Chains A and B, each alone.
Chain A
Amino acid sequence: MEDYKYLFKVVLVGNAGVGKTCLVRKFTQGIFPPGQSATIGVDFMIKTVKVGEDKIKLQIWDTAGQERFRSITQSYYRSAHAIVLVYDVACQPSFDCLPEWLGEIEQYANRKVLKILVGNKVDKEDEREVPERIGKNFADANGFDYFLETSALDATNVDTLFQEVATRLTNDMKLTDERFHNFKSNENRDGNISILDRVLERAKCANCRT
Chain B
Amino acid sequence: MVSEQFDITLRHSNFKKPTNEDFIFNIAYQLAEIINFCHKNLIIIGYLTMNSIVLESKISHELPSIKLSQYGYYYVSGNNADVDYVIGSPWYLSPERLAQLNNKCNAIYKSDIWAFGIILLEICLGKCLSDIWGIKQIISILSSLIRKTKEGSLLQPLIEAIRMASPNLQIEIELSIVSIIEECLQILPSQRISARNILDRLRILKPTTNFEIINMKNSCQNLTIQELEIQIKKSIKVKQCYERPLNELFFLWKLCGSSVENILINRGIIKLKQPPAHTLPFIIINNFRMFGNEDARKLDTTFSIYALPNRNLKSRLMSVSIENLCYSFELDLALGKRNTIELNSQSIFVRERDIDYQVLRMGQFSKLLRAYPYKKDFLLLESRKDIPPIYRGKVWAALLDVMDRARREFKQIDTITEQVSDRQLQVDIPRCHQYDELMTSPAAHYKLKILLKAWLSSHPNYVYWQGLDSLTAPFLILHFNDMPMAFGCLKSFVSRYLYNFFLRDNSAIIQEYLAVFMHILAFIDSELYTHLLKLEFRPELFAIPWFLTCFAHVLPLGKLMHLWDVLLLSDSSFGLFIGIAILIHLRNQLINSQFNDAILLFSDLPDISIDNILINSKKFYQDVPPSCTYRQHSSKFLREGFTPLSNLSYEELLNYHCPRISSQDLNKLVSQQLVLIIDVRPQLEYSVYSLPGSLNYPYTNYSSFEQAIQHIGTALETARLNEHVICFVDNVDLNCAKMISKECVTNGYNRICILDGGIKSIMTK
Which A residues form the contact surface with B (CB < 8 A)? 7, 16-17, 34-46, 57, 59, 64, 66, 68-69, 71-72, 75, 93, 124, 126-127, 209-210
Partner among B428, B432, B553, B599 whose Cβ is within 8 Å of the Cβ of A44: B599
Whole-angstrom distance between the alpha carbons of A64 and B544 in the complex? 11
**Residue with the greatest number of chain A CB neighbours at <10 A, chosen from B430, B432, B545:** B545
User: Are B427 and A72 neighbours in the complex by a CB distance under 8 Å?
Assistant: no
Chain A residues with CB below 8 A from B424, complex form: 16, 66
Pairwise interchain contact B603-A37, C-beta atoms closer than 8 A: no
Known interface pairs A35-B430, A72-B544. Does A40 touch B549 (Cβ–Cβ under 8 Å)?
A: yes
User: Can you pick out 25 interface pairs between chain A and chain B where the beta carbons lie within 8 Å of each other?
Assistant: A16-B424, A17-B427, A35-B430, A35-B435, A36-B431, A37-B470, A38-B428, A39-B466, A40-B467, A40-B544, A40-B553, A42-B541, A44-B599, A44-B600, A44-B603, A45-B600, A46-B596, A46-B600, A59-B596, A59-B599, A68-B465, A68-B466, A72-B544, A75-B540, A93-B423
> How far is the CB of B437 from the nearest CB of chain A, in Å?
12
Smallest Cβ distance from A207 to chain B, in angstroms? Answer: 13
For residue B676, give the distance in angstroms from its CB to the closest CB of chain A: 38
**Residues of chain B contacted by A36 (CB below 8 angstroms):** 431
Residues in chain B near residue A40, CB distance under 8 A:
466-467, 544-545, 548-549, 553
Contacts of A64 in B (CB 8 A): 466
Minimal beta-carbon separation of A78 from chain B (angstroms): 11
How far, in whole Å, are A75 and B603 apart by their CA atoms in the complex? 18
By a CB distance below 8 angstroms, the chain B residues around A46 are: 596, 599-600
CA distance A210 to B434 in the complex (A): 38
B540 touches A72 (CB 8 A): yes
B595 interface residue, CB < 8 Å from A?
yes
Q: Shortest distance in angstroms between B73's beta carbon and chain A's nearest beta carbon? A: 30
Closest residue of chain B to A18 (Cβ to Cβ) is B427
In the bound complex, residues from chain A placing their C-beta under 8 Å from that of B433 are: 37
Q: Is the interface of B mostly helix, strand, loop or mixed?
A: helix
Interface flag for B463 (CB, 8 Å):
yes
Most buried by B among A41, A66, A72, A126: A41
Cβ A38 vs Cβ B603 within 8 A: no
User: B409-461: which have CB < 8 Å to A?
Assistant: 423-424, 427-428, 430-435, 440
Within 8 Å of chain A (Cβ to Cβ): is B286? Answer: yes
Q: Is the CB of A71 within 8 A of B507?
A: yes
Given pairs A38-B431, A71-B507, 10 additional interface contacts (CB within 8 A): A35-B434, A35-B435, A37-B433, A37-B553, A38-B469, A40-B466, A41-B548, A46-B600, A59-B596, A68-B504
With A35-B434, A68-B504, A127-B286 as given contacts, are A45 and B603 in contact (CB-CB < 8 Å)? yes
Measured between alpha carbons, how far is A66 from B435 in the docked complex, in Å?
Answer: 23
A119 to B563 Cα, complex, angstroms: 40
Q: Is B505 an interface residue (CB 8 A)?
A: yes
CB distance from B612 to the nearest CB of A (A): 24
- Enumerate chain B residues within 8 angstroms of A71, measured Cβ to Cβ: 505, 507
Q: How many angstroms from the CA of A68 to the CA of B504 in the assembled complex? A: 7
Are the CB atoms of B286 and A68 closer together than 8 Å? no
Q: Nearest 5 CB-CB pairs, A to B?
A: A35-B434, A41-B544, A17-B427, A40-B545, A44-B599
- Range, interface on chain B: 35 or more
**Identity of the chain B residue whose Cβ is nearest the Cβ of A67 in the assembled complex:** B424
For the complex, what is the distance from the CA of A68 to the CA of B509, rounded to whole Å?
A: 14
Q: Which residue of chain B has its CB nearest to the CB of A65?
A: B466
The answer to whether B427 touches A16 (Cβ under 8 A) is yes
Residue of B nearest to A210 (CB): B594
Assess the B434–A41 pair: CB atoms within 8 A: no
Residues of A within 8 A of B428 (CB): 16-17, 38
Complex Cα distance, B549 from A37, in Å, reads: 13
Provide the B464-506 mask, 1 if CB < 8 A to any CB of A, else 0.
Answer: 0111011000000000000000000000000000000000110
B603 near A43 with CB under 8 A, answer: yes
Q: Which residues of chain B have C-beta atoms less than 8 A from A42's C-beta?
A: 541
The interface residues of chain B lying within 8 Å CB-to-CB of A72 are 507, 510, 540, 544
Interface membership of chain B positions 503-537, coded 1 if the CB is closer than 8 angstroms to chain A and 0 otherwise: 01101001000000000000000000000000000
Complex contact B466–A38 (CB within 8 A): yes
A59 to B595, CA, bound (A): 10
Is the pair B431, A37 in contact by a Cβ cutoff of 8 Å? yes
| Proximity string of chain B (106-130) to chain A, C-beta cutoff 8 Å, 1 when within and 0 when not | 0000000000000000000000000
User: With A40-B549, A44-B603 known to touch, is A16 a contact of B466 (CB < 8 Å)?
Assistant: yes
A39 to B602, CA, bound (A): 13
Chain A residues, CB < 8 A from B440: 35
Contacting residues, chain A, for B505 (C-beta < 8 A): 71
Complexed CA–CA distance, A147 and B544 (Å): 32
Task: Determine the distance from Cα of A68 to Cα of B506 in the docked complex, in whole angstroms.
Answer: 9
Q: Are B434 and A209 in contact (CB under 8 A)?
A: no
CB distance from B440 to the nearest CB of A (A): 8
A37 with B427: CB separation less than 8 A: no
A75 to chain B, nearest CB (A): 7
- Cα distance A37–B430 in the bound complex, in angstroms: 9
Contact residues in A for B286 (Cβ distance below 8 Å): 124, 126-127
Q: Which residues of chain B come closer than 8 Å to A17, judged between CB atoms?
A: 427-428
Closest CB-CB distance, B118 to chain A, in whole Å? 47
* Contact B466 A66, beta carbon cutoff 8 Å: yes
Closest chain B CB from A153 CB (angstroms): 10
Contacts of A41 in B (CB 8 A): 540-542, 544-545, 548
B498 → chain A closest CB, angstroms: 13
Given A16-B466, A40-B467, A75-B540, A209 and B507 contact (CB-CB distance below 8 Å): no
B549 — which chain A residues lie within 8 A by C-beta? 40
Task: Please measure, in the bound complex, the distance between the C-alpha atom of A157 and the C-alpha atom of B430, giving whole angstroms.
Answer: 26
Residues from chain A with a CB closer than 8 A to the CB of B602 are 44
Name the A residues within 8 Å of B542 (CB-CB).
41
> Which residues in B have their C-beta under 8 angstroms from that of A35?
430-431, 434-435, 440
Q: What CA separation (Å) do A34 and B433 show in the bound complex?
A: 11
Question: How far does the alpha carbon of A43 sit from the alpha carbon of B600 in the complex, in Å?
Answer: 8
**B residues near A37, Cβ cutoff 8 Å:** 431-434, 470, 553
Which of A17, A38, A42, A124 has the most B CB atoms < 10 Å from its CB?
A: A38
Closest to B469 in A: A38
Q: Hey, which chain B residues are within 8 Å of A38, CB to CB?
A: 427-428, 431-432, 466-467, 469, 553
In the complex, which of the residues B428, B440, B466 has the most CB atoms of chain A within 10 Å of its own CB atom? Answer: B466
Within 8 A of A (CB), among B87-111: none
Docked pose: A124 CA to B286 CA in angstroms: 7
Complex CA gap A37/B602 in Å reads 15
Chain A min CB distance to B291 (Å): 14
Within 8 A of A (CB), among B325-349: none
Alpha-carbon distance A41/B440, docked complex (angstroms): 25
State the CA gap A39–B519 with chains docked (Å).
Answer: 26
Query: Which residues in A have their C-beta under 8 angstroms from that of B430?
Result: 35
**Chain B: minimal CB distance from A137 (Å):** 26
In Å, the complex CA distance between A44 and B600 comes to 6
Report the separation of the CA atoms of residues A69 and B424 in the bound assembly, to the nearest whole angstrom: 13
Q: Which residues of B contact A210 (CB under 8 A)?
A: 594
Cβ distance A18 to chain B, nearest Cβ, rounded Å: 9
How far is it, in angstroms, between the C-alpha of A124 and the C-alpha of B285 when the chains are bound? 9
Interchain CB contact under 8 A, A69 and B600: no
Distance A155 CA – B467 CA, assembled complex (angstroms): 28
What are the residues of chain B within 8 A of A66 when measuring CB–CB?
A: 424, 465-466
Residues in chain A near residue B431, CB distance under 8 A: 35-38
A61 to B345, CA, bound (A): 41
CB-nearest residue of chain B to A123: B286
A209 touches B427 (CB 8 A): no
Chain A's closest residue to B503 (CB) is: A68
Residue of A nearest to B598 (CB): A44
Flag B588-606 by CB within 8 Å of A: 1 or 0 each: 0000001110011011000
